[in-house]
Chains A and B, each alone.
Chain A
Amino acid sequence: MTLPRWLPPLLFLLAIAAAAWRAPAPAAPEFSRPPSAAADRAPASFTAAMLPTAAPSAHAATLAELPDGRLAAAWFAGTREGAADVAVWFATLSADGWSTPQAIATREGTAEATLTHVRKVGNPVLYAEGGRLHLWFVSVAVGGWAGSALNHSASGDGGRTWAPPVRLQTSPFLNISTLVRAPPLPLADGGLGLPAYHEFIAKHGEWLRFSADGRIVDKVRMALDRRALQPAVAALDERHALAILRDGGPAPGRIRSATSDDGGRRWTAADALPLPNPNASVALLRLRGGRLLIAGNGASNRNELLLWISDDAGKNWRPAPTVESVADAEAEFSYPALLQARDGRIHLAYTWRRQGIKHAVFNEAWLDGGTP
């Protein structure tokens, strides 16, 4: 059978017209204006407690505040990192304390929903957007974490039930090596900007832009050398943002940084911060008064969990009170997550000796040296 000469080009023109109609052409991105409020004047306070145990080994906590004011936490836990029984666990904090952890993403459930082979699941990120609670988490088919693919699920009832996860298309090569660790930022157009990173062969930060309907509409590489990963981002205004990254190079490391002055369209490498980083995850939070807060580890190991504050949009940093510090170099207090609730209190969740997740609550007066 021979096709008429005009038919293939006609079909092509129809298809390319449809593709052009479908192709997103979003406006230049802008960050949502960061909320601002007077600094909290409450007396200094600090409390800390372990979250309920879900499994022998726990890591990589993430936090979100639900519309009803409850705090939500997710982390991965199992017999050990990377084991087949590792799941993403979820719990909420109300006046009655922490709820019993529920597994919200498992290896088997992810494999069933995405119709793919899944060997393990890992790093989760929670984000509350109105009444919708987002969950991104990584999954691996073969190999180590560098082979991760990114999955997304969402809950419309505060985390009681979750939609089946969808594997996102973020890489052309086997759709591997897109990982997440830090929460997204809201964009002015209703979309989100999600800090992500790549660690197959080279390590670099990435920025995934989502439209308001959840479609990926851009992917930007953070222009650092090949050893920076796990970006955490804070918007300074509608156009400017600071990203801090884990130093994946040889010790002694420092917290790496990148900046954007166009709403996240481009990210430019900036000088490393004068803060140590022993190749470990860091968290960044813009406080409502405009100050920036970093949580991270000390110079050599993960046996200290430290805080630093900047009063001038990241130009200068000073230490805040120490959260954890022990002499045992093998002890691990790592992978911090920060969140400032609507009541002004600051929540910090972190890996505690890999045995569980610890949750600390404090306020700005405590950060400034006040005694509880």
Chain B
Amino acid sequence: MSAIALYGFLAHGIIFGAFVAALPLGGRRRMLALAAIPIALATGIASFMHGVVGTPSLTLLILAVWQLIAIKPSPLTYRPALALLSFAMPFYAMALGLGPLDPYAPGYQPLPLLVAILPLAALLWWRRLDGWLLILAIDLAGYASGLFANLWDALFDPLLVFVALAVVVRHHARRVPNDG
């Protein structure tokens, strides 16, 4: 069994626990969420998620741990979620064959991408978004460890984009009554 297989399997167990933590389960929510992790690992839920969704990004794993620990509100608020959606949707469309360019390919030799990340990191630091800067640092450290062959896979994944979509939809759904 490879390191990436083990990572993906365990990470999906944690992500499943984080989904449980997001459910309205009252005061026992965190305990139930933690109990959901071994259940997901033992019952095949994690391996099914791993097979269908693929290897989760480190960003998603960190946000899942964040959700489970719940020390502070998740940094995946409306604006970061909208930014991720705006980037990921055309990215996936092109990667799946829309147009001649494959944006995924540069992630295998990512030196230019790393250079492009520098101003993003400077912006995060300037805006005092330390949480996102630390997530980015962990993503890069994960890539440096050799776990991910492609840098993009450490940064984001379709399940994270789906979560971002849910954050954006929920934001607008909550605004509707106020706007009315």
Taking a contact as CB atoms under 8 Å apart, the answer to whether A176 and B54 are in contact is yes
Contact of A116 among B50, B102, B109, B148 (CB under 8 A): B50
B104 at the interface (CB under 8 A from A): yes
Taking a contact as CB atoms under 8 Å apart, the answer to whether B50 and A23 are in contact is no
Taking a contact as CB atoms under 8 Å apart, the answer to whether B114 and A218 are in contact is no
Taking a contact as CB atoms under 8 Å apart, the answer to whether A216 and B150 are in contact is yes
Known A-B contacts A12-B121, A16-B140, A172-B153; A115 and B50 likewise in contact (beta carbons under 8 Å)? yes
A201 at the interface (CB under 8 A from B): yes
Known A-B contacts A8-B133, A9-B133, A176-B54; A219 and B114 likewise in contact (beta carbons under 8 Å)? no
Known A-B contacts A15-B137, A24-B109; A202 and B51 likewise in contact (beta carbons under 8 Å)? no
Known A-B contacts A12-B121, A18-B141; A115 and B95 likewise in contact (beta carbons under 8 Å)? no
Number of interface residues, chain B, beta carbon within 8 A: 58
B16 at the interface (CB under 8 A from A): no
Neighbouring B residues of A298 by C-beta, 8 Å: none
Taking a contact as CB atoms under 8 Å apart, the answer to whether B141 and A201 are in contact is no
Contact flags (1/0) for A191-210 with B, using CB distance below 8 Å? 00000001011111000000
Within B1-20, which residues are at the interface with A (CB < 8 Å)? 1-2, 4-6, 8-9
Taking a contact as CB atoms under 8 Å apart, the answer to whether A22 and B144 are in contact is yes
A171 at the interface (CB under 8 A from B): yes
Taking a contact as CB atoms under 8 Å apart, the answer to whether A172 and B111 are in contact is no
Known A-B contacts A16-B140, A175-B55, A223-B100; A111 and B5 likewise in contact (beta carbons under 8 Å)? no
Neighbouring A residues of B54 by C-beta, 8 Å: 149, 169, 171, 174-176
Min distance, Cβ B98 to any Cβ of chain A, angstroms: 7
Known A-B contacts A8-B137, A19-B151, A219-B102; A115 and B97 likewise in contact (beta carbons under 8 Å)? no
CA separation between A103 and B133, bound complex, in Å? 48
| Interface SS of chain B | helix
Number of interface residues, chain A, beta carbon within 8 A: 54
Contact of B110 among A19, A168, A201 (CB under 8 A): A19
Contact flags (1/0) for A11-53 with B, using CB distance below 8 Å? 1101110111111111000000000000000000000000000
B69 at the interface (CB under 8 A from A): no
B117 at the interface (CB under 8 A from A): yes
Neighbouring A residues of B53 by C-beta, 8 Å: 174
Taking a contact as CB atoms under 8 Å apart, the answer to whether A116 and B96 are in contact is no
Chain A residue nearest to B125 in the complex (CB):
A9
What are 27 inter-chain pairs, A to B, with CB distance below 8 A?
A3-B130, A8-B130, A9-B125, A12-B125, A14-B137, A15-B140, A16-B114, A16-B117, A16-B121, A16-B140, A18-B141, A18-B144, A19-B141, A19-B151, A21-B144, A115-B47, A116-B5, A116-B47, A116-B50, A142-B52, A166-B4, A166-B5, A169-B148, A172-B92, A172-B153, A175-B55, A176-B54
A19-B143, A115-B5, A115-B50 given; name 4 further pairs at CB < 8 Å.
A11-B137, A113-B5, A115-B47, A169-B55
B residues bordering A, Cβ < 8 Å?
Answer: 1-2, 4-6, 8-9, 44, 46-48, 50-55, 91-92, 95-98, 100, 102, 104-105, 107-111, 114, 117-118, 121, 125, 130, 133-134, 136-141, 143-146, 148-153, 157-158
